[in-house]
Amino acid sequence: MIRRSLPIVFAVLFTTPLMAAPGAQQTLFNFVRPADVVQVTTADASLPQYNAEQTAEGEVLRRVTFNPVAAPSLTLKPQTGAWDWSADGAMTLRAQSAMDWAVTLYVKIQSNDGKTLTSRIDLPAGPAQTLVIPLQANTPLSQGMRAAPPMPWVQDGQRTLLASSAGELTPSQVVSVTVSMDKPAVAQNILLERFGVVEGDTLQKAAYAGIVDEYGQFSRGRWPEKVTSDDQLRAAASREQQQLKGWLAEREKAPLDKFGGLVQGPVFNASGFFRTEKRDGRWYLVTPEGHPFYSLGVNAVAADGDRTYVQGREWMFANLPKADEPEAQYYGQSNNQDGNGSSVGRGFGSGRWFDFYGANLQRTYAEPCTPTPQAPCQARPFDAIRWQTHTLDRLQAWGFNTVGNWSAPTLEGNQRVPYTLPLSIVGDYASISTGMDWWGRMPDPFDPRFAMATERAVAIAARDHRDDPWLIGYFADNELAWAGPGNDPKARYALAYGTLRQTTDVPAKRAFLKQLRDKYRNQEGLSKAWGINLPAWELMEDPGFEAPQPNPEHPEIEADLKHFQRVFADTYFKTISDALKWHAPNQLLLGGRYAVSSPEAVDSCAQYCDVLSFNFYTPTPQDGYDFARLRELDKPVLVSEFTFGSRDRGPFWPGPMEVAKEEDRGNAYATFLKAALQEPTIVGVHWFQYLDQPVTGRLLDGENGHFGLVGVTDVPYQGFVGAVRKSNLDSLDQLAKTLKTAPAPEAGGKSAEGHRGGRR
């Protein structure tokens, strides 16, 4: 289709004066009753002169048709000069999808200095709504949370949708507003009424105003588990106790050893601690008593996981406790503005916080107190021991057998459920950026200070645990940035490129330069191998040196990058392995909990660790990695995180693996677990996480996801929990049947037994 651009100048059809709408909204142009001359330009779109129509709700709007081309658009410009919006906080547009489905609009606002502010708007099907587009960059993260409240919401009787906006604008010199679509497959229609601006940030705040009730729940939503009174909290806890009692009685009859190992089938050698063993082509964790153990774990089992910042955004909370109320003891202070990638662009990342989960435990379990003038009530916290016992009851009743990473230290010595521990290696050692840096830069393992920090971290972690048979093992940190974002060579070899950009006071760069000097001797040899012109070796020592990208004509580039990254990973994992063998020889080294990785990092982990661990946010484990390659490494694999979330239980973010509704989470869990059991290298899967994240974002990074087993009120999601329990019990039954029919290993034959930890 030929692209066309038609200027349409609207004459005054009605002599209605320009009016300011309620709430300091000013209408600049009315598509139905234009009261001022505005130039409207269409490109591959049509806006007939007389096509106003009435909607089912009684509103009168004008139809715009976007044709099925690359970027059909409608642009509004002032007849002369520019709009001065310097006193305004947002642009507004009354719009409706004229289709029976949602449409996606792109709105671009431009000032005469070339600055542009852009927004993507998913306009749902249904009645008209007022689109609110902030005139400065605005995202849910700038409000302190990963995802925004559901849109639209009702403001002054009108459906209103707050859009995110990105970019920059000079609001005193606005010269155009363009509404477009991106490659519609067929002609799409929307209905428009008025376009204008609104003073200040009133509407932006209204989108978030009072979104959290006194229990920490989303105030505007409804769902079966939502709590409305303290009595309801206590009644739910009482009912659950009876249910847990029956489920735990069933567990007592299960053929399990005290650690949760399966007593059916062949017996393994008992070492007194957890270890790994491969038998008949399948890897197993083995309990201290010598029975196969499939680790079904839950991460972040803790009572302090629902803290959220309130300072500076108190308007988001409908009813925060006053200073003289018992729940006021759950206020605190923190600062999570650490400069990592996880905090970039985030607002409200420090100051005063409130712990809604702790307050709800207080309401549920604290002993009641009747104040008198002579003896006022003292704020008494809930019984922490009771919470621990109740939580362990839940895990066992629900078919779990492992307390996963990031869990409460008080659950470690329970002698009821095995557990894992993280190694957090902090120090003043050098570090390297790979472009990811979500949790920070990569530690430099060539720096002697890294070895000292590792020794200190391992010694502290092992101090109270080295002789504990309930401890399965330690994770080597978490989700380090072994590669950069993306799939190109710069991302694949981001660690090597990032190292060469450093100054020579970084030990890793000195190690890389030595590797190259030992191989090529001088700049002539390197120049020839890499296809570059390097006049002097010293130029590589300069900060910001950019190595060439791999190419078929110069294969040595990729070989050198790979070799450095393998040596880097070997140095890192060997340092941790050596420290753990000295301080905690009885427990396993459970790998690096990869979110992103490189083949070199995975190969090195297989050499120095007992278990490879991956955080998979995929439908099945097999979607997260090439398991044919992992089988070649011949090491057991632990899925250290997986999850599935939805948007219908309060928190706005479903996490990285979204399902359509709450009822689908159980099916997704079952599918994942079934696929894991079919993979002979996988020895367990750990769910992320025990508790829903806060509606307004957790302290760490603003994540506000619904993927918990339990809500902020400590009320379990019964449908999901029931499905998870069934899947867990079915998986152990299936594994028991497999073991029962498996032949015993021949002497010196089909069993591969590692050390206690199997490290070499």
Domain residue limits, the chain: 5-208
Residue 491 CA to its chain's centroid (Å): 21
Tell me, what's the pLDDT at 369?
64
38, 28 in Cβ contact below 8 A?
A: yes
Of 94, 285, 330, give the one whose Cα is nearest residue 190.
94
Q: For residues 612 and 569, what is the distance between their CA atoms, to the nearest angstrom?
A: 14
Tell me, what's the pLDDT at 754?
57
Q: What is the mean pLDDT for each group of 10 consecutive residues in the chain (760 residues)?
A: 38 34 74 78 87 87 96 95 95 96 97 97 95 95 96 91 96 98 96 94 93 98 97 95 96 95 89 96 97 97 95 97 93 93 92 97 80 64 87 98 96 94 95 92 98 97 94 96 92 97 97 97 96 95 95 97 98 98 97 97 98 98 97 98 98 98 98 98 98 98 98 98 98 89 53 49
- CA 652, 657, 663: angle at the middle one, nearest 5? 75
Tell me, what's the pLDDT at 20?
38
Tell me, what's the pLDDT at 377?
61
Residue 562 CA to its chain's centroid (Å): 29
Instruction: Measure the N-to-C terminal CA separation of the chain; round to a whole number of Å.
Output: 67
Tell me, what's the pLDDT at 19?
35
Q: For residues 361 and 306, what is the distance between their CA atoms, to the nearest angstrom?
A: 12
Structure tokens at 547: 């190595």
Structure tokens at 346: 């985030």
Structure tokens at 359: 């307050």
- Which phi-psi region, left, alpha or beta, contains residue 114 (left: φ > 0; alpha: ψ -120 to 50)? left
Q: Which residues pair with 41 in a beta bridge?
A: 7, 75
572 vs 430, 442, 559, 565, 614, CA distance in Å? 13, 10, 20, 11, 17
Q: For residues 393 and 407, what is the distance between their CA atoms, to the nearest angstrom?
A: 15
pTM: 0.92
Structure tokens at 600: 């070199």
Of 412, 303, 309, give the one whose Cα is nearest residue 362.
303
Side-chain-side CA neighbours of 658 within 13 Å: the count stands at 12
Tell me, what's the pLDDT at 10?
40
Q: For residues 545 and 535, what is the distance between their CA atoms, to the nearest angstrom?
A: 13
Structure tokens at 81: 């000069």
Q: Give the single-character DSSP code of 358.
A: H
302 vs 66, 230, 396, 444, 708, CA distance in Å? 52, 22, 16, 31, 12
Provide the sign of the torsion angle of the four alpha carbons 145, 147, 152, 154, taken in this order: negative
Secondary structure of 658-722 in the HEC alphabet?
Answer: ECCCHHHHHHHHHHHHHHHHCCCCEEEEEECCCECCCCCCCCCCCCCECCCCECCCCCECHHHHH
35, 17 in Cβ contact below 8 A?
A: yes
612, 638 in Cβ contact below 8 A?
A: yes
**Is 5-208 a CATH 3.30.420.40 domain?**
no
Structure tokens at 375: 């003896």
> How would you label 418-434 residue by residue, b for 16+ Cβ within 10 Å and e otherwise?
bbbbbbebebebbbbbb
Provide the sign of the torsion angle of the four alpha carbons 488, 493, 495, 498, taken in this order: negative
